[in-house]
Chain A
Amino acid sequence: MKSSVVFVLTVFLMASCAGARFSRRSPIGIAKSFEDEGKTDDAIEILKNASQDPREKNKVEIYLRLADLYEKKDDIVSRIEVLKKAKSADGKRVDVRLKLGVCFLNAGLHDEAEKELLYLVSLGAENPTLWKSLGEIYYEKGRLGKADFYFRKFASAIDDSGVFRKLFEINETLGNFADARSFLASAAGEFSDEEFSKALAVDWMKDGNPAEAIDELERLKETGEKNFLLGLAYYEKPDLEKAEFYFEKAGKAVKPARFFLALIYWQKKEKKKALDIFRALSVDEKFAPYCAVFLD
């Protein structure tokens, strides 16, 4: 009888101990309740303590949660630190490395971000955030071919007018003018109607098609810039008479128009008129090296 009582008590004791263990709230849960009450610092403290507990098996999740809290606090340095720790705890977690890579990118650490994200590419990861981030890195680094590659991959999955705008800029620089126009159309939301028409017109001119540029520019309301761009398109055509008309119409304040007007005078052998303009413009350092060609 006595031994039965001892046995039953022992079982109860064990069960209660086990119950207590199972019902213990996880640090993430506790942190969440603090967070819900607006006590972010307390939530961080709980998770920091838990991350230092050697018995804690769920460290990667704790670090990820900490990283989210630091993001709320705009503390990118601490965020990077905890994500680095998460990576050390489990280097195979793709989500951890992606977050770390994006964090590096946001902190302007492009080399580190590139290394982290290229590792994911080498694993065969397919993820729009990964593509966009790599596109951003290469865009910032001026490696436009690679930026174009990753932004295109991203754009094929997700419509993002900011990315389309960058693809427009990149493809204009790379000389892929038809592609640039297509991206410009997709990024239309990023531009006002006027800016859109101007960008499209300049693209047509770069592509050696001034007639399309003229069509586009004629829709714009009357400004000095419109007249300058129209002059430029006619000059490219080449229709020097109309170009001269529009460059003059653009007004003296539009210096690029003045420069091209001087070039037309020069080509028409009205050199004195041309030199007067070149001389006046040469005080502006942007124009000086080009004016010097004619003034020397």
Chain B
Amino acid sequence: MKNVAADPWSAKKLKSRKGERTHYLISPLEGGRNRGGIFPYQFVNLSTCQLFNFSILSFRRFIVLLFFIFSARIFPADISDYLYLMSRTGWARYRAKVGVVLSGGAARGIAHIGVLKCWKERNLPMDLIVGTSVGAIVGGLFASGLEIPKIEKIGEDLNWNKLVEVKVIPSRLLNLTSIVSNERMTQFFDAYVGDRDFDSLKIPFISVASDLKTGQKIIFREGKLIPAIRASSAIPGIFEPVAYKHRLLVDGGVVDNVPTDVAVSNGMDVVVASWTGGGIGAEEPRSIIAILTRVISISGILLSKKQLDAADVVISPDLKNISPLDIGKFKTAEKKGYEACRGKINEIKKAFVIATLKKIKDEK
């Protein structure tokens, strides 16, 4: 750079313009092409009164840049958008099936509502919902066709008093099967889901429970919806086990807190897990219920690692400040779920497109 005052041609030009916003003048440099062909142009910064030369090499880059800007205008969408478009519309025969797996996590599972809200809003493909524990509750409500605002309203109005009725009688403490009775839970589901069968759901749905007698993972995909959801969300020691046929069922999270394998075995090509069981919270558990839920959370985290690895995409809302008992933090948990899902949209679309392309590739 050199001071413009040293260059009479530029100084003359600058006088009248000094003080205005920054402008650059470009002028062909005398003999530029013959000076080794390096720079035929000279720039003047009208604010700082300085000159600088612009080499032909940079000029070429500038032209390349212009070309890219021009290209970007011509092709505003990239290949991912077009492939997603075709996967959603043109490739009906090959379209990959997408399963959404909603994990356990007690009150933290409210974040699933945010995940489903974002999912529905963005019109992402969904062919199956698999839920365990709170995931079964949220998934069941959604699959039964309840609109998100309605589910949000249910979540906002929720409190423990609505769900539980404490039945501890000190003299019979050791004979109790749970701390709270199930009456209210049943009433709650009756009010919102009614006497529905799995067959009548808008979106195919599967819930997972654990059999206390055999230790088996029990998969519900047919029959009445309420017993299935109730069994899947019966946190052991807190809610009463659910007697179903010859079985005694408790929370699915005991054996499988994020059943991605169920989605795969039911023909899903892409499995997206919404995982709200991660992180055990900073607060020290100070009640029986808090201790029990913490114990289940810890074992759930350990059990879930392999299952999460099997998912194509894992949505993990940041719930470190929400404990499994924080049922009142609905808005925060829902927002976290929404944001976490939004952050994974491109990944979900990509997984969906790739799975669809794989089906095209493998067509005989």
Contacts and interface: CB of A to CB of B under 8 A. Distances in A.
Interface string B84-103: 01101110000000000000
Nearest to B88: A206
Given A145-B117, A206-B89, A289 B361 contact: no
Contacts of B85: 202, 205-206, 232, 236
Contacts of B83: 259, 290
Contacts of A286: 78-80
B203 interface: no
B357 interface: yes
A144 B90 contact: no
B75 A236 contact: no
Interface residues of B, number: 27
Instruction: State the main secondary structure of chain A at its contact with B.
Output: helix
B274 to A, nearest CB: 18
Interface string A123-163: 00000000000000000001111000000000000000000
Interface in B28-83: 74-75, 77-80, 82-83
B360 A174 contact: no
A244 interface: no
A259 B121 contact: no
B350 A289 contact: yes
Nearest to A194: B74
B287 interface: no
B163 interface: no
Contacts of B350: 289
B122 interface: yes
Interface residues of A, number: 35
Contacts of A267: 360, 363
Contact of A266 (B79, B89, B361): B361
A255 B75 CA distance: 10
Interface string A171-211: 00111000000000000000000000000001001111010
Contacts of B82: 232, 256, 260
A290 B122 contact: no
B12 interface: no
B305 interface: no
B356 to A, nearest CB: 9
Contacts of A259: 79, 83
A188 B309 CA distance: 47
Contacts of A144: 121-122
B89 A208 contact: yes
A168 interface: no
Given A266-B360, A290-B354, A293-B361, A174 B121 contact: yes
B353 A290 contact: yes
A263 B74 contact: no
Contacts of B89: 205-208, 236
B86 A236 contact: yes
B122 A293 contact: no
Nearest to A236: B90
A48 to B, nearest CB: 27
B79 A290 contact: yes
Contact of B79 (A143, A145, A256, A293): A256
A225 interface: yes
Contacts of B150: none
Nearest to A172: B123
Interface in B99-138: 117, 121-123
Given A145-B121, A263-B360, A286-B78, 6 more contacts: A206-B88, A224-B74, A225-B74, A260-B82, A289-B354, A294-B357
15 contacts: A173-B122, A174-B122, A208-B89, A224-B74, A232-B85, A232-B86, A235-B90, A236-B89, A236-B90, A238-B90, A254-B75, A255-B79, A289-B350, A290-B357, A293-B357
**A-B pairs with lowest CB-CB distance, top 9:** A175-B123, A236-B90, A293-B357, A208-B89, A145-B121, A256-B79, A142-B342, A225-B74, A286-B78
